[in-house]
Structure 1
Amino acid sequence: MTRIAGSGVLSGMTRLSGGANMESFAFEWGEGEEVAGYVLRRAPSADYMAGRPFGHVDEAALVQAAYAAGVKAPEVVGVLEPADGMGTGYVMRRVLAEVSPAKILADPPPSLLADLGRELARIHSIPLDSVPAAIPLMDTAAALAELKSRFLSYGGDRPVIALAIKWCEDHLPAPADPVLVHGDYRMGNIMVDVDGLAAVLDWELAHKGDAHEDLAFGCMTVWRFGMLDKPAFGVGSLDDYFAAYEAAGGVTVDRTRFRFWLIYRTLWWALGCLQMGQMWRSGADPTVERVVIGRRTAEQELDLVRLLEEEAPEAERGRVLPASPDATSAPAGEPTNREIVQAVRGWIEGSIKPEAQGHAKFEAVVAMNALGIVLRDLDADVRAEDKALAEALLSGATTLAEPGLLARLRRAVLDKCAIDSPKYAALAAARAGWRG
């Protein structure tokens, strides 16, 4: 590894609970009054990095370029080398600030929305000649075709995803002048202190492309963490966000292009969740968190219906929803599969979780969530798959103008999300809006 300057002793190594993809460890290094905090970011396995357009060496160089350009990126101080025997990754100086979206959004500093707009404009202003050559240029049409190919490889049988792919194909925008796109600019990947935005994290999805992709991503429903009345990051209005971005030198915001990217990235994350299940099946990441995220596809399908329903005729938007399937009857006799799962979940909650610390406690909560999904699934008769309908929507043979289709899709996403993510804030909002 490119060595941290000075001699010292390593202490306090702790696994951090955040990070849906990479592992992060906090530690201290130094001696006496020279002790400082650092964070190691690394891949959970070599297989995990397979197929990525760039590795951690280039990611570290990109973060360094952003830091040098005045962006509130972490300061990279070392990059892992093969001789270290620790896989791939890099070390950053630790930033002492809040990263939890729930805590940030409960009481955001007054400047936060303006900070978010300003910082994104700074990222988009980084000269492309200072960006590592490995950082790819995104071709939107090719990227959409790749999403479609992945969807088909996963079975091609989710109607809402098929509907979104077809919509994106029909509304593909003309290419934009490329800028550096962070690719994951949202709550959960920023740090905030009392003065406002303190750091922008997680640059692994960076690429060159359309600035509107970054503008839209943090405004997705899932990344607003329940703040549905504040469409910009869960912090404020789109008008104020766009004004701050433009005032700091960002491109003039095109609302039509913004809507495309809001739908595209919601589709992208729906397929990203499905991909998590494939990663678990392949052994690339055997953690229980992977399979739980795999079931969050239902959240994005719900959001896609809410985004796309305006394409349906007014009469269809007002149609009454069909009834949900009947619940299963109460058990009798020997313990059922449901009761066995319930017993295991209760044991984790009562005996394992209270004794766990740090990342182990996080894993216990994830395991409880996984078993909760199974419990609800065992009680229901709900499936998201309908290959014939998905194929008809993907080809354009069926559209939201078909009588009753929107109502069927609404009922399907409500029932599926109630199993997989019953606490998802948009679920309650959709039930109220659709009278479901």
Structure 2
Amino acid sequence: MLDLASALSAFMTRIAGAGDLTALARLSGGANMESWAFDWDGAAYVLRRAPSADYMADRPYGHADEAALVIAAHDAGVKAPEVVGVLADSDGMGTGYVMRRVIAEVNPALILASPPPTLLADLGRELARIHAIPRATIPAAIPLMDTAAALAELKARFVAYGGDRPAIALAIKWCEDHLPAAADPVLVHGDYRMGNIMVDADGLAVVLDWELAHRGDAHEDLAFGCMTVWRFGRLDKPAFGVGSLEEYFAAYAAAGGTPVDRARFRFWLIYRTLWWALGCLQMGQAWRSGADTTVERVVVGRRTAEQELDLIALLEAEAPEAERASPLPPSPPFAPAPTGEPTNREMVQAVRDWLNDEIKPKAEGHGKFQVAVAMNALGIVMRDCDARTRAEDKALAEALLSGATTLAEPGLLATLRRAVLDKCAVDSPKYAALAAARAAWSGSE
């Protein structure tokens, strides 16, 4: 078993000179990579690593190229982390790199509760700086995104995952029909959103998580942080949950960004919502295959319901006005509750209560996070025991994907609305957009 403290001490001695390793602790979260905070000789650092090369097998480039890109961004004046060293095979810690740690707030809920006055302007400025990073400094391994090919790959994955989710099929078809012309490529961060930035009293402090960076359309980055899911309940503020799109676009342009094309922005808002819906489904596939058997994987896999809800909200404008005004059909009635032996729901409830009462109070650090994830998973199962509507409808999905059925079909939009509302109520009942959609589509239920 790896003695991380000893291996990391040897690495830091090699790159920074003799010192003492203290306060080594795994940071909460990190669904894709491990992040470890530590102090070396009194200075704060973060190790970002994958335990083995297998974790990086499906990625277009490895940690060495990722680190080189972060260094290029930092050198270009972007608020990127300062990389101090890259792991070698001989270090025995897998792949990764060490950065100086920025002490600032990363929790979106805390940031959005009281954002610094300059934050939206900072976000627009920093994105313009990212898009202006000189092409010559971008590592050759950073790929160029072909939007048509990427969409075709999403479609192939959807079919491989069963091809039975109508909201996703509708979005794929819409994207195929509205594919924009190729844009002059810039460096795209690929994950520019709340949760991947840190903020202090002066505003934006650092931009994190560069693993999805590629060359492509600047509008992809512009749209990603404006997705409903990344606004963390601030539905009235479409730009990052902080402010208006007009303010955001103006800040981006003032820092040298190109003028925003609203139609192109809308395409990328829908595309990236679709992308994340399939990304969530992919989490479940990773668990099934044994590639990643953490509970977090299966829980995130159920967040597909959030994106399906958002996709219908984004695409309902394509339906005739009369269909948008149609009332929701009722959910199917509940089955009568058994009165004999304990039901599956009651057994899951018992385990969940045990975790909450006996295990959670004693857990610490990443272990406490894992207990919370496990409890969330059991909560989903409990609600699923009562589920009245399923998200899967292969025949309808195939008809939407082929274009044989559209939102002009009488009653279809209402049916899709009902399905995504009921599914999201099972998988993510606290998702802010769920309550908003209920109010918009039916009044309070």
Cα deviation for residue 43 of structure 1 reads 1.8
The answer to whether the Cα contact below 8 Å between 2:70 and 2:210 also exists between their aligned partners in 1 is: yes
Q: 2:31 aligns with which of 20, 45, 52?
A: 20
Cα deviation for residue 45 of structure 1 reads 4.4
Q: Secondary structure at the match of 1:385?
A: coil
Q: 2:96 aligns with which of 89, 97, 105?
A: 89
Partner of 1:290: 297
Find out whether 1:182 has 2:189 as its counterpart: yes
The answer to whether the Cα contact below 8 Å between 1:179 and 1:211 also exists between their aligned partners in 2 is: yes
Cα deviation for residue 258 of structure 1 reads 0.2
Mapping 1:265-284, distance limit 5 Å: 265-284=272-291
TM-score (norm 2): 0.96
Q: List runs of 5+ in structure 2 lacking aligned partners.
A: 1-10
Partner of 1:73: 80
TM-score (norm 1): 0.98
Partner of 2:329: 322
**Residues 175-218 of structure 1, C-alpha deviation per residue, up to 9 Å, x if partnerless?**
00000000000000000000000000000000000000000000
Range with bigger deviation, 333-342 or 169-178? 333-342
Identity %: 81
The answer to whether the Cα contact below 8 Å between 1:37 and 1:94 also exists between their aligned partners in 2 is: yes
- Equivalent-residue separation in structure 1 for 2:388 and 2:70 (angstroms): 47
Range with bigger deviation, 155-164 or 377-386? 377-386
Cα deviation for residue 431 of structure 1 reads 0.2
**Residues 123-171 of structure 1, C-alpha deviation per residue, up to 9 Å, x if partnerless?**
0000111000000000000000000010011011100000000000000
Q: 1:235 aligns with which of 233, 242, 263?
A: 242
The answer to whether the Cα contact below 8 Å between 2:238 and 2:245 also exists between their aligned partners in 1 is: yes
Partner of 1:433: 440
Aligned partner of 1:122: which letter?
A: R
RMSD of aligned residue pairs (Cα, Å): 1.0
Find out whether 1:170 has 2:181 as its counterpart: no
- Equivalent-residue separation in structure 1 for 2:282 and 2:190 (angstroms): 17
Mapping 1:131-170, distance limit 5 Å: 131-170=138-177
Partner of 1:5: 16
The answer to whether the Cα contact below 8 Å between 1:392 and 1:398 also exists between their aligned partners in 2 is: yes
Q: 2:126 aligns with which of 119, 125, 132?
A: 119
Q: Secondary structure at the match of 1:4?
A: helix
Aligned partner of 1:58: which letter?
A: D
Range with bigger deviation, 276-285 or 230-239? 276-285
Aligned partner of 1:26: which letter?
A: A
Cα deviation for residue 327 of structure 1 reads 1.6
Aligned partner of 1:20: which letter?
A: A
Partner of 1:53: 60
Mapping 1:357-372, distance limit 5 Å: 357-372=364-379
The answer to whether the Cα contact below 8 Å between 2:50 and 2:56 also exists between their aligned partners in 1 is: yes
After TM superposition, where is structure 1 displaced by more than 6 Å over at least 4 residues in a row?
none
Mapping 1:205-224, distance limit 5 Å: 205-224=212-231
- Equivalent-residue separation in structure 1 for 2:259 and 2:317 (angstroms): 25
Partner of 2:317: 310
- Equivalent-residue separation in structure 2 for 1:347 and 1:305 (angstroms): 38
Aligned partner of 1:267: which letter?
A: L
- Equivalent-residue separation in structure 2 for 1:86 and 1:326 (angstroms): 54
Partner of 1:103: 110
- Equivalent-residue separation in structure 2 for 1:65 and 1:279 (angstroms): 32
The answer to whether the Cα contact below 8 Å between 1:45 and 1:285 also exists between their aligned partners in 2 is: no
- Equivalent-residue separation in structure 2 for 1:347 and 1:46 (angstroms): 37
The answer to whether the Cα contact below 8 Å between 1:226 and 1:425 also exists between their aligned partners in 2 is: yes
Partner of 1:128: 135
Cα deviation for residue 44 of structure 1 reads 4.6
- Equivalent-residue separation in structure 1 for 2:288 and 2:39 (angstroms): 36
Aligned partner of 1:306: which letter?
A: A
Cα deviation for residue 247 of structure 1 reads 0.3
Cα deviation for residue 18 of structure 1 reads 2.8
Partner of 2:398: 391
- Equivalent-residue separation in structure 2 for 1:308 and 1:20 (angstroms): 29
Q: 1:404 aligns with which of 406, 411, 419?
A: 411
Find out whether 1:191 has 2:202 as its counterpart: no
The answer to whether the Cα contact below 8 Å between 2:331 and 2:388 also exists between their aligned partners in 1 is: no
- Equivalent-residue separation in structure 2 for 1:398 and 1:385 (angstroms): 16
Q: Secondary structure at the match of 1:252?
A: coil
Cα deviation for residue 21 of structure 1 reads 1.5
- Equivalent-residue separation in structure 2 for 1:45 and 1:332 (angstroms): 50
Aligned partner of 1:15: which letter?
A: R
- Equivalent-residue separation in structure 1 for 2:398 and 2:404 (angstroms): 8
Partner of 1:39: 46
- Equivalent-residue separation in structure 1 for 2:89 and 2:287 (angstroms): 25
- Equivalent-residue separation in structure 2 for 1:402 and 1:234 (angstroms): 34
- Equivalent-residue separation in structure 2 for 1:389 and 1:268 (angstroms): 20
Range with bigger deviation, 142-151 or 4-13? 4-13
Range with bigger deviation, 116-125 or 350-359? 350-359
The answer to whether the Cα contact below 8 Å between 1:48 and 1:285 also exists between their aligned partners in 2 is: no
Q: Secondary structure at the match of 1:172?
A: coil
Equivalences, count: 432
Q: Secondary structure at the match of 2:215?
A: strand
Q: CA distance change for structure 1 residues 311 and 358 in 2, over 3 Å: closer, same or farther?
A: same
The answer to whether the Cα contact below 8 Å between 2:112 and 2:241 also exists between their aligned partners in 1 is: yes
Aligned partner of 2:31: which letter?
A: A
Partner of 2:6: none
- Equivalent-residue separation in structure 2 for 1:46 and 1:280 (angstroms): 18
- Equivalent-residue separation in structure 1 for 2:339 and 2:19 (angstroms): 64
The answer to whether the Cα contact below 8 Å between 1:302 and 1:414 also exists between their aligned partners in 2 is: yes
- Equivalent-residue separation in structure 1 for 2:343 and 2:54 (angstroms): 38
The answer to whether the Cα contact below 8 Å between 1:45 and 1:284 also exists between their aligned partners in 2 is: no
